[in-house]
Amino acid sequence: MTLNGKVAAITGAASGIGLATAEALHKAGATVVLVDRDTDALSAITARLPGSIAQVTDLLDSESCDAMVPEILHKAGAIDILHCNAGSYIGGDLSETDAARIDRMLNLNINAVMKNVHAVLPHMEERGSGDIIVTSSIAGHSAIPWEPVYSGSKWAITCFVQTMRRQLCKKGIRVGQVSPGPVISALLADWPEENLRKAKESGALIEPSEVADAILFMLTRPRNVTIRDVIILPSAFDV
């Protein structure tokens, strides 16, 4: 199956997994709506992806977040695929961070995802079709000791995705998540230096494009098939 004629909205699309997914879905025939707050990056990306659409949204700003889905529908006419990918990371001991950083990460990793899904549901339910993919993490399946806040957020989103999958499966809407291990991206900047060094030396990291391949696989299954979760790990990674 191709994605010809589909409209795919991707949050956090200016870099990392979001950008790699946008490129993969664009190549597969979708009209991609790139959602990010980085206006300059979106301009550069849409210039090289013909037919793609920029959507400047700050998911941590309530008004901007609330306006995202209506603005995309106005620009693109439909949303067939919503990929909630934007997220942030906090590593290290809980005592080493502060309440403001915790609030910011939980708002982006959990609240924004729930609000984006809530906003798109009336549109998808009216059409009787749609795909919702959320970028989770292996940290949503295993309690990673050096990232309690991040791991907690991904456990929460794993629960949300799997409960929404059960709510929406009879309405023609597929809901699933992709759960990567460590991906070469800006999120790793907050990793403990020793952990990052060891991961690089051992080859325990994967590229964003390899996660995008898994997402493309999920979206191109026949409609009677739902891939509920893809755990994709570097072969040398062990949790």
| Strand ranges in 93-136 using DSSP code E only, listed in sequence order | 130-135
pLDDT score of 30: 98
For the segment 161-170, what is each residue's pLDDT rounded down to a tens digit?
A: 999 999 999 9
* pLDDT per residue as tens, the chain (239 positions): 789 999 999 999 999 999 999 999 999 999 999 999 999 999 999 999 999 999 999 999 999 999 999 999 999 999 999 999 999 988 888 998 999 999 999 999 999 999 999 999 999 999 999 999 999 999 999 888 888 999 999 999 999 999 999 999 999 999 999 999 888 776 666 666 777 677 767 777 888 999 999 999 999 999 999 999 999 998 877 65
- 6: its two tokens: 């589909």
Q: With the C-alpha atoms ordered 39, 34, 68, 178, is the resulting torsion angle positive or negative? A: negative
Q: Residue 33 burial by CB count (10 A; 0-12/13-18/19+): exposed, middle or buried?
A: buried
pLDDT score of 184: 73
Q: Name every residue whose Cβ is closer than 8 Å to that of residue 130 and which is 6 or more positions away in sequence.
A: 79, 80, 81, 82, 120, 123, 124, 172, 173, 174
pLDDT score of 198: 72
Q: Out of 34, 150, 179, 215, pick the active-site residue.
A: 150
- 165: its two tokens: 């999958």
Give the DSSP H/E element, type plus range, for residue 51: none
Report the predicted TM-score, pTM, of the whole model to 2 decimal places.
0.92
The DSSP secondary-structure symbol of 22 reads H
* Residue among 221, 200, 185, 232 nearest 87 (CA): 185
Give the DSSP H/E element, type plus range, for residue 114: helix 112-127
Query: Is-catalytic flag, 150?
Result: yes
* Residue among 96, 59, 238, 89 nearest 153 (CA): 89
pLDDT score of 7: 98
C-beta separation of 82 from 123 below 8 A: no
CB atoms under 10 Å from CB of 88, counted, come to: 18
pLDDT score of 188: 63
Q: With the C-alpha atoms ordered 62, 65, 70, 74, is the resulting torsion angle positive or negative? A: positive
Q: Which CATH class is domain 7-232?
A: alpha beta
- Rounded to the nearest 10°, the torsion over CA 21, 23, 28, 30 is 80
Give the DSSP H/E element, type plus range, for residue 55: strand 53-56
Amino acid type, 35: V
Characterize the bridge pairing of strands 130-135 and 173-180. Answer: parallel
CA distance 44 to 27: 17
